[in-house]
Every structure is written in C-alpha cells, then in structure tokens.
Structure 1
Amino acid sequence: MELAPAAPRADSISLADSFERYLQDKGKGRGGDGGNYRRNAARELKRFGRWAAGDCGRNEWTGIVPDDVDRDPTFEDLDERVFRAYARHLGSDRALKQNTIHTYYHYISAWCGWCTNEGYLEGHYARRASATAPLPDDDGRKPGDQQIWTPQQRHTLTRYVDDRVTDAIETYRTLPEDVDPLDRQRARYTILKAARDRALVFVIAYTAVRVGELLRDPNDPRRRGVQWGEISLDDGNMDVYRKKQQWDIASLPGPVIAPLRNYRTLMDPPTVQWPVFPTFDQRTLATLVRDELGEQGAIDDHRDEYARDFLLALDEDIHPPSITTDGARSILQRLSEAAEVDIEHPKHDYLAPHGGRRGMGEILVRGFGYTVAARYLDSSEKMIRKRYSHIEADELGALATEAINEIDSI
C-alpha cells in the first residue's frame, strides 16, 4: 500500500501555501474548490496575509517580520502577540461592526487551529485569552453567528454514527475463527470507540446539556466528567454539575436511551465510577497504564497481550480520564467531516457542541414555548427569549401577514 506523503515542515511552507492547503481541506466539491466558507475564509486569509507583510494601507505598520530582516512572514514569526495585534487592527476599523470583527477574526482563528493540528504551530495562539482580549464585545445583532444544528444536520450526523457502529459490529462478527487475537481486539476496540462517539453525539444533540457539564475540565476538579453511576437509563435522567455550581438532574429523552444502553452493554464498564465518555488517547492511556501497573513488574510483557492500552485498562479496572470539552470538539470535527454534513457558517466548519444545545432549544421553543424550553435548558426564561428572539419575530411576522391579508381581502 502506498503511503500518503508526510506533511511538510513548518520551515518549508509559506503562509500563503498554508492558506491554500487549509482552503482545500475546508472547501467543498472535488479538489475543495467550492463552498461559501472557502470563499469567505479566502478573503480574510488574504487580508491577514497582506497585514502580516505590512501591506495594510498604514504607513506606520511594517508587518510582523523584524525590521532588520528582509523576507516574507513565516510561521516562526507567529505567536499570540501577533494575533492580539491583528485583533486590535480589526477593532480599529470604524467601518466594521462588532459582530463583523468577531466573524473576520474567527476565520483567522480557525486557520490557526488547523495549523496547530498540522504541526506548523506549537499552539492555538489565536484562541488564547491575551490574543482575543482586544476584540470588542459582540453586539449580538447577528443571530446567525450563533450556530444552531438544523434537523437535516442532526439527522445526517446521527445516521452516520449509527451506521459506523453497525459496520464495526458486522466487521467483528465476520472475522474468521482463526484470526489473530490482537486483530480481534482491534476490531473490538473499533466498536467501542464508535459506540462512544455515537453516544456522545446523541447526548449533545438531544439533551441540551452544556458540554462543560458533561465532560472533564482540566482546570476544575469538580468537573471530572459524568460517570456511569450518575446515569439512570430506566428513569431517563443523569446527574450533572451545572453551570450554576451545583448538582442537578438532567433529562435523557427517548432518542438518547438506546445508544447509551447499547454502548454500556458493549463497554461493560467494570465499576460505576468509570467515565461514560473516556479518552481513547493512546499517549494518555500508555502513561496511565504504566503508572498503575508499575509495581507489578513486567509491564511491557503484559501490554504486549493487548492491541490497545484502553482494553488493558478496561480489564484491569484502571480508570481513564473523561475526554475534555476540547476533545469533544475534535471528535465532532472529525465526525462532521466524515459524515459530509452540509455546513455554511462564518465561525464553524463543523457541528460544534453548543450548536446541538441551541438546536434542541429551537425545537422546544417552537414546540412548547419559552417557559418549557427554559426549564429544559436550565436557563432563565428571559435569557431564552433573548437567545431565541428570532422565533418570536418570525411568529409575529406571520401574524402581521395574516392580519394584512384579512384587511386587504375586505
């Protein structure tokens, strides 16, 4: 099998080349040449490239390359101070509204995140607090900036993760009897990972629980991620540590129960203290297994009996940590791309976790009103009315249209 070429080193690719690679990855159609996101991102990346080179129409600005160096900007010139300066540059343009500034900056931030994943940058500098500090407060005048999963997007993603589990199980069942034990373990590992991803997607899509209440926060020991002992599938609820700093019961609606029940059966967690959404990160699990089994000796020999350290941790009841909120975003990015979800959004080229919560809020407001939606979303009715004001505007517009038609028909 021919291997794909390795990604170029950061010192061998220009910023302009990275722009094109990024746009190809994010574009639609053959060759990644189409899509509104690509077109809008290309415009903003070009603007950023000119600014970085000192070509932004301001005589006092010479770019991000040191004055005594004669070359084009490179990745070694980028750090959080550069993105902070660019945020300030956007904010100084009086022709731009606050929400427009945020939208333009998010295109650059998304490219920065891609560069981090590709190994061109050591960190997501554009997302750091010091970089975003100069951005103005968003005036909230453009509700479209807030992603909401549409019914079609939700259906596409949930159908994909369903099919992924089904395919993994079928592959496992059709393995020949004399297959290598490690290959059988790898097939089981694929099932467990697919089942975890499916359960996570359904919970985010239908419960409206904040992802920070569901998963681990490395900076807050109280948020260590939901455990199996905190979920009651028979009663249809789970205990979560809410944003308001207290434990509360969240509902698990019908569509969530079957994926969770099937996932629990497949995983068969050894104790109720196991995280519902454990990390599958190999580096994290390798360190964990070595630390836990260090006193027993012959660790490597024991590990060699397992195709993945996660399976060893499962058998030995070594509790892995829950995935983090950043981990959930990475999973949704991967799944959104694999499922080929149709997404046209200025800030996100994937189905982000908060979009699932807002999508469920949209369903509840339209179906049962603001009071019920506020209770389900664990928020105030005032906040829900503000966040979903576009629904009330639509309804009032329909009433006004009906009134006008009645008058005109007289």
Structure 2
Amino acid sequence: MTSEKVSREGTGRSLASSFDRYLQDKGKGRGGDGGNYRRNAARELERFSGWAAGDRGDDDWTGIVADDIDREPIFEDLDEHVFREYARHLAGDRGLKQNTVQTYYRYISAWCGWCVNEGYLEVHYAQRASAMAPLPEDDGRKPGDQQAWTSEQRHALTRYVDERARNAIETYTTLPEDVDPLDRQRARYEALKASRDRTLVFVLAYTAVRVGELLRDPNDPRRRGIRWEEISLEDGSMDVYRKKQQWDAASLPDPVISPLRSYRKLMNPPTERWPVFPTFDQRTLAGLVQEELADRGEHPDSIDGLREESARDLLLALDEDIRPPSITTDGARSILQRLSDIAEIDIDHPKHDYLAPHGGRRGMGEVLVRAFGYTAAARYLDNSEEMVRERYSHIEAGELGDVATEALNEIDSA
C-alpha cells in the first residue's frame, strides 16, 4: 500500500464516511444489505465512532480530536494509540465478559484491516501488539453459546410436545360428523400448531441443524426458511443453506421422520413451496390474506366473507394457497421459551432459562462425540474436526482423566 493511495482515499475523510461501503462489502444477499455480521458490525462501528467523537459518558473523555479543533474524527487522527485506548475502554469496568470484549474489538479490527486494503489507512493499527495489549485473554468461549441439552432435558421436552400433538390430533380426528364447521376448523388449527411445534422441537433436538439454516432470518434474504420441496422423507434428508454459504444435504434421523410425516399429512400444503414452519402470528397472516386476495381482484366484502367463514387466517391461506412466511429464528426461541416453561423443564444455566435452539445442536454434538468420535461428529455437525475437538474438548479431557485414574489404580494395586 503506497502513501500516495492513502493520501488519495483517506485524507480529510471522516471515519463514518467509510462505513456504508464497508458494510456493503461484508453484507450478504443482493446489494450486501443482509446478514447478522453486517448488523453486528454496524452496531460496533457506531459505538466506535461515537467514542472517537467523545461520546463515552465520561466528562474526562473528549474524543480523539484535539479540544481546540471542531470537526469529526478523520483517518489522520487514527494511530495505534487510539486503538489501544479503545481496547482499554472496552476492557474497562463495563460488565463485559472477556470473550465479549474480544468479539467487539474484532469488529473494529476487521474494519481497520479493510481500510488498509481500500487505501483509507496505510497501517493496520488495530493489530499492533501495543494496541491489543489492554485486551483480556480470550477464554475460548462464545457468548451465550454454551448451553447443551442433556439427555434428560431432550427426552422431557420431546415427550411433552409429542403427547401434546397426539392429543390435539386425536381431538380433531375424532370429532363427530355433525360438529359445527368452525369448531372443526378450530380443532384442526390447534392440531396444526401443536404438530408444528412438535416437529420443530424434534428437528432441533435430533438433526443438529443450525436454527439459522432451518428458519427465516430477517437480516439475510437467502435464509427464507426450509420448504417442503427441500425435504425427502423417503431418503431421510433435507436440503439446507449452510453457514458456509452453500446448499447441502442434512440427515433426518428416525425420531424426526414420524413427526414430519404426520405434520405434513395434517397440513396438506397446497404446493411444495410452502414453508415447513409457517408463522402462526395472526396479525401477519391477516394482513397477508387481505392483501393477496385484494391483489387477486376480490372485493373487500368478499374478502370479509371468506375470513368470517374461516376460523383462522392460516386455514384460509391453506385453502387459497396464500403462502405465509416461515417463522423467524427469534420466533423459534419464543416457542422454545413457551414450551420449556409449560413442560416445566429443569434448567440450570447462567444465561438461558429455557432450552435454546443452539442447545439442541450442542446436545447432539455431545452424543455423537461420545458415541462415534470427533470425525463422525464433525461430518454430522457440518464442522471441521478441529472445531469439534475444540468445542467438545471437555469430553476428551474427561476420558483422559478416566485413563489416568485407571493407571493410578493399577499402580496402587501392584
């Protein structure tokens, strides 16, 4: 990188002037508008920009621009001392965990590296040893990603949702022929909802698929939620858009097949392009149904009549093939919170008071590593063996401890 390019690109420019371009490069989807990384990076860049301008909630801090100069921070204001001070700020008494401080700093460091490549800066100041010195050591854990469903928790939750779905389906299928049509529809709706929740729990509990690969992510237009056309019950597989940004087949083990088959029969989707896990949010469905029917030329009175004849807008959407959106990843968390509470699952975790979606994946990882080793678990989890060994290192440590104990016992008994 030449000083001439730095002068041409970065001289006199505010730090914030680079943010949109950087976020577009790091975003996902058409135009780089989506993705969790983009959203998180935008948040941290905004914090860094505010801090650089003097917004720290501390009267002693006036920012990185000299007090007698009235302007925004620009690239010429940056050096390794600035990033050292920011690292010290992150690591200060703000209640942040060590790994969280590291994560926040990495967002700013990544932007700094991009600025070097694009000619805004000549040096990657954020990676200088002196700049990173105030950062705490990373403990190797990811914030909020340590819960793993135990066998007891998995069995308790799957047993509860299975019984709930069976009861709802039996209530619906055993209604007398002369029952009021709206009551029949209400019973079908309750059976559908219970079946959807059961299927979601079983898929999360046994497939080890990431929740972001299964459901809709509002920040990534490519993740619109799995559809029926992407599931093969005969082959025991489903196609998911993996974290590595490509489609891949994931396994559907035996415990998942029966709930899926029962749920599909009950739903009877009008087309294969329907989401497997549609939203049941009434406000969303009401707006969708009214808008779609109006677009098809239906008169408002006719739309009102159709809705009055249907107990729920979801059922009307099924009848009229009005495809709803999939539930979101946040929606899945809300469902699991509700189910964990109703099922009275015993949970002892510092961050989650419910069985979080990622805990199902980690729980299956525990089972696979213990039963078949790291190589087979890595294939099933769609991860590198190195990463799986790191994530589940406690298992190997425990096994080595058993070996050491056995060796000591043999020596003591000799």
TM-score (normalizing by structure 1):
0.67
Structure 2: gaps of 5 or more residues: 1-57, 61-87, 103-134
The one-letter code sitting in structure 2 at the alignment partner of 1:322 is S
User: In the alignment, is the contact (CA less than 8 A) between 1:145 and 1:347 conserved in 2?
Assistant: no
Within 2, Cα distance between the matches of 1:304 and 1:232? 36
Q: Which runs of 4+ in 1 moved over 4 A?
A: 88-91, 94-97, 99-102, 135-138, 141-145
Deviation (angstroms), 1:288: 0.6
Within 1, Cα distance between the matches of 2:217 and 2:97? 33
SS in structure 2 opposite 1:223?
coil
Report the aligned-residue RMSD. 2.7
Q: Does 1:404 align with 2:404?
A: no
Q: Does 1:285 align with 2:275?
A: no
Residues 166-315 of structure 1 aligned to structure 2 (within 5 Å) = 166-294=166-294, 295-297=297-299, 298-315=302-319
Within 2, Cα distance between the matches of 1:218 and 1:164? 30
SS in structure 1 opposite 2:238?
strand
- After superposition, the C-alpha distances for 1:30-62 in whole angstroms (9 at most, x for unaligned) are xxxxxxxxxxxxxxxxxxxxxxxxxxxxx999x
User: In the alignment, is the contact (CA less than 8 A) between 2:229 and 2:273 conserved in 1?
Assistant: yes
The one-letter code sitting in structure 2 at the alignment partner of 1:385 is R
Question: Which residue number corresponds to residue 148 of structure 1?
Answer: 148
User: In the alignment, is the contact (CA less than 8 A) between 1:209 and 1:357 conserved in 2?
Assistant: yes
Structure 1: gaps of 5 or more residues: 1-58, 62-87, 103-134
SS in structure 2 opposite 1:327?
helix
1:154–1:396: structure 2 CA closer, same or farther, 3 Å change rule? same
Residues 4-403 of structure 1 aligned to structure 2 (within 5 Å) = 91-93=91-93, 98=98, 139-140=139-140, 146-294=146-294, 295-297=297-299, 298-403=302-407
User: In the alignment, is the contact (CA less than 8 A) between 1:208 and 1:361 conserved in 2?
Assistant: yes
Deviation (angstroms), 1:217: 1.2
User: In the alignment, is the contact (CA less than 8 A) between 1:145 and 1:346 conserved in 2?
Assistant: no
User: In the alignment, is the contact (CA less than 8 A) between 2:211 and 2:329 conserved in 1?
Assistant: yes
Within 2, Cα distance between the matches of 1:225 and 1:169? 25
Deviation (angstroms), 1:176: 4.5
SS in structure 1 opposite 2:147?
coil
SS in structure 1 opposite 2:383?
coil
- After superposition, the C-alpha distances for 1:50-94 in whole angstroms (9 at most, x for unaligned) are xxxxxxxxx999xxxxxxxxxxxxxxxxxxxxxxxxxx9995349
1:199–1:136: structure 2 CA closer, same or farther, 3 Å change rule? farther
Within 2, Cα distance between the matches of 1:330 and 1:371? 33
Aligned residues: 295
Deviation (angstroms), 1:180: 2.4
SS in structure 1 opposite 2:221?
strand
- After superposition, the C-alpha distances for 1:209-247 in whole angstroms (9 at most, x for unaligned) are 000001111122211111101100010001000000000
1:137–1:175: structure 2 CA closer, same or farther, 3 Å change rule? farther
Within 2, Cα distance between the matches of 1:265 and 1:166? 14
Within 2, Cα distance between the matches of 1:218 and 1:143? 22
Within 2, Cα distance between the matches of 1:100 and 1:397? 30
User: In the alignment, is the contact (CA less than 8 A) between 2:99 and 2:143 conserved in 1?
Assistant: no
SS in structure 1 opposite 2:322?
coil
Deviation (angstroms), 1:147: 0.2
The one-letter code sitting in structure 1 at the alignment partner of 2:198 is R
> Max radius of gyration: which structure?
2
Within 1, Cα distance between the matches of 2:99 and 2:346? 24
Within 2, Cα distance between the matches of 1:95 and 1:200? 35
Identity of aligned residues (%): 78
The one-letter code sitting in structure 1 at the alignment partner of 2:336 is L
1:138–1:318: structure 2 CA closer, same or farther, 3 Å change rule? farther
The one-letter code sitting in structure 2 at the alignment partner of 1:160 is Y
Deviation (angstroms), 1:97: 6.0
SS in structure 2 opposite 1:220?
coil
Choose 367-376 or 216-225, whichever is displaced more. Answer: 216-225
Within 2, Cα distance between the matches of 1:226 and 1:99? 32
User: In the alignment, is the contact (CA less than 8 A) between 2:144 and 2:351 conserved in 1?
Assistant: no
- After superposition, the C-alpha distances for 1:369-395 in whole angstroms (9 at most, x for unaligned) are 000000000000000000000000000
Deviation (angstroms), 1:405: 0.4
Question: Which residue number corresponds to residue 119 of structure 2?
Answer: none
Within 2, Cα distance between the matches of 1:204 and 1:145? 15
The one-letter code sitting in structure 1 at the alignment partner of 2:231 is I
The one-letter code sitting in structure 1 at the alignment partner of 2:353 is D
